[in-house]
């Protein structure tokens, strides 16, 4: 009987070759299937390599057969699949942790939870985020927005000054979808955070100034003028000539605390004349510092009463004026009216002050 020829010798190499190709294909697919998962509904990215960079994850992305480099900001990274050895590259895990805190703060802020957002941003700095980094700038802006939303703008005097030093285009348009305009386009100042300190606010401001050096001479001058207004210490010895809009405005406000009564009066008249056509926030700042300067320096009852009227202008602006200005105006007006023997008027304003404090104490998430 004739034997049928064996096919093993001829088919074995084919099977082996196919197996090798299959293994190679599987290995390639396994490598290509490593994904970087992004937040806020953004599609995941297939990545070959990732490294930790200062601004985020630097990834080699694979898409439609093409490979290209892309940096994904830390606060946009939810997670990254580990490599074949089950590990993450150096710095990736820590970067995602920091980014998560900033993302959490921004998410809370966007849904209206200012207090919880503030806690997350504070935690981000405690975790080691640097103020000069991209994450740091988002967290600083977030702290300012959260404090303003909570009616506690004086808590972020230093942070607001740092925001005013950000390069143009960083804050506006906002990186917070629900955020309103923070910075005045003319002066560069954060309009809802006037230089008025409450308990502990001044030391916190100075700590931020120490922690983050001023980027240039202009910023240094602005910080100095801002601190002078917080202290009510009057203008610097320099003339104030050739200043940019923001520094000029702050300088003029410091003149309302000048020792020379004639200088105070000239400045007051000039600022009030300009306030007629100015935005409401500038009107509020001018009226407050005019009133405060008068009450701090004048002893004549008529002039002191005029100072009270300046403060009442701030109170009359209601929600158009920052809460810290309204509270400070009410306190000063009540104290002065009592000193002037106008106890009934003082009692009326004191009742408004009590209502202001009650509003501040309301929960964040009212229906």
Mean pLDDT of the chain: 88
| Higher-confidence position of 308 and 181 | 308
- Residue 337 exposure: Cα atoms within 13 Å on the Cβ side: 19
pLDDT in tens, 37-76: 999 999 999 999 999 998 899 999 999 989 999 999 999 9
* In contact, 307 and 298? CB cutoff 8 Å: yes
Mean pLDDT, residues 83-110: 95
pLDDT in tens, 310-331: 999 999 998 899 999 999 999 9
Residues β-bridged to residue 47: 61
* In contact, 9 and 20? CB cutoff 8 Å: no
Lowest mean pLDDT among 8-12, 75-79, 195-199, 327-331: 8-12
The count of residues in the chain is 367
DSSP string, 49-83: EEEE-SSEEEEEEEETTEEEEEEEEGGGEEEE---
Q: Which helix (H) or strand (E) holds 35?
A: strand 35-38
- Please give the C-alpha separations between residue 102 and each of 88, 189, 336, in angstroms, as whole numbers: 21, 24, 44
Tokens at residue 103, please? 């993302």
Does the pLDDT at position 4 exceed 70?
A: no
The angle that helices 280-297 and 245-255 make with each other, rounded to 10 degrees, is 30
* pLDDT for the residue numbered 6: 52
Taking the model in full, what pTM does it have?
A: 0.84
Closest CA to 231 of 296, 277, 150, 187: 296
Tell whether omega for the bond before 222 is within 30 degrees of 0, i.e. cis.
Answer: no
**Which strands, in side-by-side order, build the sheet including 56-63?**
66-73, 56-63, 45-52, 35-38, 77-80
């Amino acid at each position: 009987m004739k034997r049928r020829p064996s096919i093993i010798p001829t088919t074995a190499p084919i099977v082996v070759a196919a197996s090798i190709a299959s293994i190679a294909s599987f290995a390639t697919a396994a490598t290509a299937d490593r994904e970087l998962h992004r937040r806020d509904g953004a599609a995941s990215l297939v990545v070959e390599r990732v490294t930790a960079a200062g601004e985020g994850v630097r990834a080699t992305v694979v898409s439609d057969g093409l490979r290209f480099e892309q940096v994904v900001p830390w606060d946009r990274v939810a997670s990254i699949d580990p490599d074949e050895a089950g590990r993450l590259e150096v710095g990736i895990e820590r970067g995602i942790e920091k980014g998560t805190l900033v993302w959490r703060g921004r998410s809370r802020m966007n849904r209206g939870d200012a207090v919880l957002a503030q806690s997350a941003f504070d935690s981000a700095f405690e975790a080691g985020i640097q103020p000069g980094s991209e994450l740091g700038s988002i967290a600083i802006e977030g702290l300012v927005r959260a404090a303003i939303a909570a009616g506690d703008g004086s808590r972020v005097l230093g942070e607001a000054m740092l925001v005013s030093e950000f390069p143009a285009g960083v804050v506006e348009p906002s990186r917070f979808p629900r955020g309103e305009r923070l910075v005045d386009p003319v002066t560069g100042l954060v309009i809802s955070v006037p230089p008025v300190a409450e308990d502990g606010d001044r030391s916190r401001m100075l700590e931020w100034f120490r922690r983050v050096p001023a980027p240039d001479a202009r910023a240094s001058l602005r910080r100095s003028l801002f601190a002078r207004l917080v202290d009510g210490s009057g203008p610097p010895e320099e003339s104030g000539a050739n200043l940019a809009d923001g520094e000029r405005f702050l300088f003029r406000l410091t003149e309302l605390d000048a020792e020379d009564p004639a200088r105070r009066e000239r400045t007051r008249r000039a600022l009030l004349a300009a306030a007629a056509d100015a935005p409401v926030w500038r009107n509020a700042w001018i009226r407050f510092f005019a009133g405060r300067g008068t009450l701090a320096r004048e002893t004549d009852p008529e002039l002191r009463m005029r100072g009270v009227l300046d403060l009442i202008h701030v109170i009359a602006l209601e929600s158009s004026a920052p809460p810290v200005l309204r509270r400070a105006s009410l306190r000063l007006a009540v104290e002065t009216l009592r000193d002037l023997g106008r106890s009934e008027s003082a009692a009326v304003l004191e009742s408004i002050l009590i209502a202001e404090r009650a509003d501040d104490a309301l929960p964040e998430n009212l229906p």
